[in-house]
Amino acid sequence: MSEPPRRTMTPIPATAPRRRFLGQAGALLAAFTLTPHLARAQGTTFVAVRAWPAEDYTRITLEANQPLHFEYLFVPDPDRLVIDLPGMSIDEVLKSLPDKIAADDPNIHGVRIGQFRPDVVRVVIDLKRQAEPQIFTLDPVAQYRHRLVIDVYPKTPRDPIEALLAELDGKRAATSPTAASSGPSATPDLTASAPPRTKGVPAKARASGGAPYVIVIDPGHGGEDPGAIGRFGTREKDVTLAIARRLKRIIDAQPNLRCALTRDGDYFVPLGERVRRARRAQADLFVSIHADAVASSGPRGSSVYVLSNRGASSTTARWLANKENQADLIGGINLGQQNEHVAKTLLDLSLTATMQDSAQLGRHVLTALGQVNTLHKRDIEYANFAVLRNPDVPAILVETAFISNPEEERRLKDPKYQEKLAQAILKGLQRHLETTAPTPRLLIAAREGRG
């Protein structure tokens, strides 16, 4: 595709690196320049603007009543993104955007807005660090109208999993005799093949050869995707994060366990990325935390789901999996970046042993949950949840309680009850590890000399 003209852009020095258009941006730009009358679509107004700051990436969402057209440019020194929105005028909704950028946003200094031309709004995003932006549009879905999404990823990504790996690297450096001595292997490295130390290590850790089990906890939903909303306004994404953080605290307090969260903030992580993070962290177990919702307020109780390729164990399970799998649509993913991964994951699903492990893990967790809540069903259930499609990591999805049941909604918000749920899930995880005693993946990786 030849470079379309950029008449609306301020000239930038010829030597300046200019970002390529990513994802759908190029296509949309072309549509705009080829059919400029589209730019004058009448009556397009902003409906809402939102900002979701996170260490992972910062998302800015502009929502309008009709599709937004845009072109954008990267301008260095100081680094900023310039986004022009033809056919738009500044209004009160858009004016509220700069105030929504938090001072401690890791990726963005701030946002400036101007009426660049009578028919073009210019949004300038001042960047805090080197960025890899993705800009794309989303069609209306669920409660949202037309969205323009600006995702500002740091050029050097750092997510909760990286933090865990860095922490484990540090621990190994601190405890490994080879790391303490001088020599070529002094750098902390999970791939180092130093013999596991057993002296002074608690019995449980000894059983796992000194390496901890890595538990990846996945707080469902986040950011643009609130998940289910209770009658009193409790949002599933907040409850899942609260329970997941409690779980992390008590898991990390165990000598033989380490926990990583797939998200640790109010932002959206695509389902495929959650799966990828579990793999990168060498997860031994994966637990996705959710809260159920149905139209009526009666149903209650905890449920545990495991993956099934063949079909769901009930129509409710199938319905629920479809609902949870919609997270990517609501949370908003750049399809241009995701398809490849999804196709690949589906291909690798040869899962029998993992599915048996998942089922056993699920039963242990369900039993433990039965001590702190009613069980919705007596046994685990099966359905095709995208977030559980991980070829070799035992994985379960816990529907902690029904957020659509007013009594359970109240309990889900209660910190004491959140702690009880977390304790029960931990108990189930521990039972599973005690009965199966798998070799920690970190240890396997170290023995095989790969990270």
Footprint on this chain of Zn ion (rule: CB under 5 A): 220, 227, 290, 324
Q: Closest by alpha carbon to 412, among 263, 189, 229?
A: 229
Tell me how far the alpha carbon of residue 27 is from its chain's centroid. 27
Residue 224 vs 324, nearer CB to Zn ion: 324
Element of type H or E holding 240: helix 236-252
Smallest distance, Å, CB 220 to Zn ion?
Answer: 4
Report the 10 Å Cβ neighbour count for 269. 30
Residue 29 vs 330, nearer CB to Zn ion: 330
Residue 75 vs 365, nearer CB to Zn ion: 365
Smallest distance, Å, CB 341 to Zn ion?
Answer: 21
Residue 51 vs 291, nearer CB to Zn ion: 291
Smallest distance, Å, CB 397 to Zn ion?
Answer: 8
Residue 221's DSSP bridge partners are none
Residue 97 vs 398, nearer CB to Zn ion: 398
Residue 136 vs 402, nearer CB to Zn ion: 402
> At which residue do the structure tokens 């929504």 appear?
100
Per DSSP, the residues of 337-385 read: HHHHHHHHHHHT---HHHHHHHHHHHHHHHHHHTTTS-BSSSS-EEE--
> Which residues have a Cβ under 8 Å from the Cβ of 415 and sit 6 or more positions away?
242
Count, in order, helices (H) and strands (E) of the chain. Answer: 14, 14
Whether 80 contacts 126, CB under 8 Å: yes
Element of type H or E holding 319: helix 315-325
Residue 80 vs 274, nearer CB to Zn ion: 274
Report the 10 Å Cβ neighbour count for 10. 11
Smallest distance, Å, CB 250 to Zn ion?
Answer: 22
Smallest distance, Å, CB 142 to Zn ion?
Answer: 13
Could you give the count of Cα atoms lying within 13 Å of 189 in the half-sphere of its Cβ? Answer: 15
Smallest distance, Å, CB 228 to Zn ion?
Answer: 6
Residue 86 vs 220, nearer CB to Zn ion: 220
Smallest distance, Å, CB 320 to Zn ion?
Answer: 8
Residue 209 vs 220, nearer CB to Zn ion: 220
Smallest distance, Å, CB 447 to Zn ion?
Answer: 37
Q: Cα torsion for 363, 250, 413, 265, to the nearest 10°?
A: -110
Smallest distance, Å, CB 357 to Zn ion?
Answer: 23
Closest residue to Zn ion, based on beta-carbon distance: 290
Smallest distance, Å, CB 240 to Zn ion?
Answer: 7
Backbone angles phi, psi at 165, to 5 degrees: -60, -40
Residue 132's DSSP bridge partners are 153
Determine the straight-line distance between the first and last CA of the chain, rounded to whole angstroms: 40
CB < 8 Å & 24+ apart, contacts of 199-207: 201/255, 202/255, 202/256, 204/254, 204/255, 204/256, 205/255, 205/256, 207/256, 207/437
Residue 131 vs 271, nearer CB to Zn ion: 271
Conformation bin of residue 393: beta by default, left when phi > 0, alpha when psi is -120 to 50: beta
